[in-house]
Amino acid sequence: MQNGKIMNCSKLENILSKIKLVDKKVAMKARKKLDLLAIPNRSLGVLEECAEKYVTACDNIDAKIHKPTILTFAGDHGVAEEGVSAFPQSVTQEMVKNFVTGGASISVLANYANAELKVIDVGVAGDCPYEDVINKKVAYGTNNIALGPAMTIEQTEAAICAGIDVAETAICAGSTLLGTGDMGIANTTPSAAIYAAFTNLKPQEIAGRGTGIDDIVYKKKIEIIEKALEVNKNLLTSPLSILSAVGGYEIAGICGAILAACANKTPIVIDGFISSAAAICAINFDKNVLDYCFFSHLSAEAGHKKILSELGVRPLLDLNLRLGEGTGAALAFNIIGAGVEIFNKVASFEDAGVSTSGSELYE
């Protein structure tokens, strides 16, 4: 790998070659069908938009939702040694166990959404020998981005390809809707650095308080992000090299999962602040990625609103969430599912025997 170009990951090259522009004819057919349903025109708003986007991304006007799956990637960060989080790094490993034993928020919400939860160790600093954890570990945490690159290019490619593998496995098992999630103490710091590298926004416009840090630690966090961007400035030249310089293993894994979903015409729901950092990387790999992504919610983490504005997208929910894990994606599954059910099961005016001559009553 030289100058951010892909040299060794044929899997990544292959996935990128398969990502295509969605077929606008499918979108037109979906809109025409929605206009014929026995409801006032556009009266179900975002639910209709979700249905249209879902079937268009699937490239199938008759698409249903089967086996929705949350992919939660876990990894640790060397920058945690700078004291930018309110929690110790060991919490990442402990929460991975909590995910698979059913005691975490994402465990509960995935179950509520009738979704499968897949937990992937792609870079946790300790071993995660727990039943049902998918072991895709590339390394035991990243290097400290305040001192140099988080990962080598080869490690970054490996983490992306791990995400591709997990996503494609879920798709091959029948999942038609994926969601992203993350776990990694201190990961709002590299995420903010990624955003700053891709946009003209400054760290203080993006970074928030993560796990609930105080004013002193918050000020230090901003300084660390600025230092990371300066130390790695010569490497901030491409999506791959930006991920390598200031990213993380779980962020790279999520990026790979997003790319794989798009290449396989499978809609994917982006969780919050961390997952959106992975999404902005994926979108910079291929702009067509955006047409396959639902953005689940507006994070309470500072700067997320500005980032979504930069991407030109509107989140489905605004619930003051900032947990991560995939919790926003799990909640959004219910919204998207409702839209697709409406699309597939509500009768048309004609089939229902409802006259449209008095349609002004619906206005």
DSSP 51: H
What residue type is 128 in one-letter code? C
In 3D space, the residue among 9, 6, 58 whose CA is nearest the CA of residue 30 turns out to be: 58
User: Does residue 325 carry a catalytic annotation?
Assistant: yes
> Which entry of 13, 226, 325, 363 is annotated as an active-site residue?
325
Radius of gyration for the alpha carbons in the chain, expressed in angstroms and rounded: 21
Phi, psi at 306, each rounded to 5°: -70, -35
| DSSP conformation letters of 109-131 | HHHHTT-EEEEEEEE-SS----T
State how far the Cα of 84 lies from the Cα of 86, in Å rounded to an integer: 7
Candidates 26, 49, 34; CA nearest to 348 is: 34
Burial label for 83, CB within 10 Å (0-12, 13-18, 19+), is middle
For residue 355, the Cα-to-chain-centroid distance in whole angstroms is: 43
The dihedral sign for the CA sequence 90, 92, 95, 96? negative
What DSSP assignment string belongs to 225-272? HHHHHHHTGGGTTSHHHHHHHH--HHHHHHHHHHHHHHHTT--EEE-S
CB 229 within 8 A of CB 193: yes
Name the nearest CA neighbour of 273 among 246, 295, 240, 244.
295
Q: Which residues are catalytic?
A: 325
